[in-house]
Chain A
């Protein structure tokens, strides 16, 4: 086995590689670099494959990062691109590339310093940022984009106040975890024993515990098609507020395709968050394919975000371009996978409501609670509609 010198070209290159990964968006902390060097001492660098998997197991922490790592590895550790072929002792066999490997994305090549532009940018990091966001924008130029107006300070203050008082029609549910409670159902034997030893009364007072209550995880599916465009800005403000107000919230938007915007909404600042969303979503104000996008959600996401008794808040007007193709099946699957499915419909008034459109007729049997929110124009309206008294509880 080849020993890896602690200070040498290889360790430097591993460090550079980690930096490149970091620039490309894989969070690799300095601690992991040290770990990787220790790991390499153990596995050795005699085989390229082992070298590859050693770095992978230390640097990666989720599956999505793998593609980026793979491409970065092939680019970085091929002899042509390494400065002064510095990999002492590293076998540079032909990369074990698959037949259908895609070309590396521009961002990655930049991160690895493979383009002249990147080299320039390294000297002025701010310009690099600008370049990246510009590149991101141009990629979706062809698709429809929607810009959010920024909120005025007054509006923001008002919104904050409203959101503080806003109550989702989702009560906290009991968890299996217990907490001390003098009127609880369960006897806390440990607390009782300790207390009995501390005092000197002859009577042992029972300490009690009860179930903790906590908000269930919430998944928000928000329709952003053309017919919803009047409302989408407001609903996104609303989801941003919920995301920052409680833990375990996942947000998806859909029109003709499904986009997970959970991470974009985590910005503290609402304008920045919505700006990020606006860039990430490619199908603003287009048509709606509710059946197809819900099916995609069921296939790709439901098992990952609907665990632990999640509740789903579906915000849609039920107008479906595909005329309900695949909609009942997708709704049924969604309904069965979550604890409670709440449908917030901003279009239809409850009084004299008739399920006329195909989409609405097909979706209604599969929801637990239907919250009609006619003419919601502001957060204030939304708060009014979400008040518990307004709900039509339709649990079968």
Chain B
């Protein structure tokens, strides 16, 4: 907010550069969707497996554009009181007692007083609508699939008109719509009515080349040879029938772990010791540990260009 807020990019190439300035290596397809969302002032709906960098986009956008990031983490039973606004009941009660102690105030006036903005607690959605002039915040609605349908229906109003209605006060409308990023891990299907109001993008696992660039940027200290092998191995691993495939986040973590162990190249022993960083299900680990991992490593190394 207090930082200098930048204007939104005017082309897809600028969007790519903007994301790169926040250390986010994006495919051109993703940059197109981001650019459109910014220019058309539409929410961006990102779906994809866990750990492919959906949430990160909102953070990078906020950082690179110098905007405030407002995050709404969704969970089951999320209601208006914790997502939009709530009245400050203790203060209201004290106010009532004070007014009564002072003597005759009319009930109408009292009601108007205690349901005024002074007693309003603003939750993320309302905060996002009341951003500063000229630099609306980035609103991240994270893991929307964790909420239930009633909240989704409520969100519909907010996302189509960028306004919320508080019965006691009236309608609050955003002067300028916030930049909205919605993410979903697809643990259930989000209703089409929401998707229709958004620009949709499926975030896939990155190509080997791009993943290598991501690792190079995020873990600068790691040896070149090691990062190449790590990426090649993970790419091989994604072809295996696993319950949970490793995401980019896992690749980064694994690179960090190996470099913390002072490894400069991959060997079967190192893989077996650190497999828990990459795979999070016991069945998957049991499946890969030992000979299969060695086989995958051999294949990965064979595909690497002689360095």
Q: Is the CB of A56 within 8 A of B40?
A: no
Closest A residue by C-beta to B245: A299
Assess whether A230 is interfacial by the CB under 8 Å rule.
no
A contacts with B: majority SS: helix
Q: Is the CB of B40 within 8 A of A39?
A: yes
- Minimum C-beta distance from B220 to chain A (A): 30
Interface residues of A in 159-210 (CB under 8 A from B): 175-178, 189-190, 193, 196-197, 200
Pick the contact of B110: A27, A197, A217 (CB < 8 A).
A197
Q: Is the CB of B33 within 8 A of A197?
A: no
Assess whether A395 is interfacial by the CB under 8 Å rule.
no
Assess whether A244 is interfacial by the CB under 8 Å rule.
no
Per the bound structure, the CA–CA distance linking A178 and B110 in Å amounts to 28
Per the bound structure, the CA–CA distance linking A1 and B36 in Å amounts to 15
Chain A residues within an 8 Å CB radius of B33: 53, 57
Of the 9-residue stretches A59-67, A107-115, A137-145, which lies at the interface with chain B? A59-67
B contacts with A: majority SS: helix
Assess whether A338 is interfacial by the CB under 8 Å rule.
no
Of the 9-residue stretches A4-12, A303-311, A350-358, which lies at the interface with chain B? A303-311
Chain B residues within an 8 Å CB radius of A32: 196
Q: Is the CB of A304 within 8 A of B187?
A: yes
Pick the contact of B77: A1, A63, A177 (CB < 8 A).
A177
- Minimum C-beta distance from A295 to chain B (A): 9
Assess whether A387 is interfacial by the CB under 8 Å rule.
no
Interface residue tally on A, bucketed by range: 35 or more
Interface residues of A in 27-54 (CB under 8 A from B): 27, 29, 31-32, 35, 38-39, 42-43, 49-50, 53-54
Interface residue tally on B, bucketed by range: 35 or more
Q: Is the CB of A53 within 8 A of B29?
A: yes
Inter-chain residue pair count (beta carbon < 8 A): 102
Given contacts A43-B35, A175-B76, contact A304 B195 (CB under 8 A): no
Q: Is the CB of B200 within 8 A of A60?
A: yes
Q: Is the CB of B29 within 8 A of A304?
A: no
Chain B residues within an 8 Å CB radius of A200: 107
30 contacts between A and B (CB under 8 A): A31-B196, A39-B199, A42-B36, A50-B12, A50-B28, A53-B29, A53-B33, A57-B36, A57-B200, A58-B199, A61-B196, A62-B47, A66-B202, A177-B79, A189-B89, A190-B87, A193-B92, A193-B114, A197-B107, A247-B149, A299-B241, A303-B185, A303-B187, A304-B187, A305-B188, A307-B145, A307-B146, A307-B187, A308-B187, A329-B283
Spell out B's residues near A (CB within 8 Å). 11-12, 28-29, 32-33, 35-36, 39-40, 47, 75-77, 79, 81, 87, 89, 92-93, 96, 107, 110-111, 114, 145-146, 148-150, 185-189, 192, 195-196, 199-202, 241, 243, 283
